[in-house]
Amino acid sequence: MANKGIMGKLFGSKPADGLDDYTEINLEEIEEAKGSGPAETYVRVGELSGLGQIPELKREIYNGNIVIADITPIKGDSLTRDRALKDLKQVALDVSGDIAMINDSQIVVTPMSIKIDRTKFSSK
């Protein structure tokens, strides 16, 4: 065995070609494997910048989709923010779904039979 030096003994050594080991993921193979048929439920992501967008968000939820909305544009306008959140909470109640804040600027609204687990997990 060749002498690696103290750092080599502690942390191992890089491959001889100097490249780190990694696994490349071919996204085209994933696209082909999933098929091209329609899904039953979609995750729709959007930005909520005013009350005029509420009907579109409601339609997505009533259609059975999960909506993640960025509310940053209306965060400073408490009247608009509170009205929008009240409307979205009502939709979640109407469809027996759920609604929760992801962080201080994003919300998620789910349709029937999809509940949000509010406990955070870690990969430790």
Lowest mean pLDDT among 21-35, 67-81, 100-114: 21-35
**Average pLDDT estimate for 85-100:** 96
Contact 48, 83 (CB under 8 A): no
Q: How far is CA 47 from CA 12, 39, 87, 106, in A?
A: 47, 23, 16, 9
- In this predicted model, what pLDDT tens digit does every residue of 44-81 receive, in sequence order? 999 999 999 999 999 999 999 999 999 999 999 999 99
Confidence of residue 39 (pLDDT cuts 50, 70, 90): confident
Position 29: which residue type?
E
pLDDT value for 14: 54
Summarize the confidence of residues 7-21 as an average pLDDT. 55
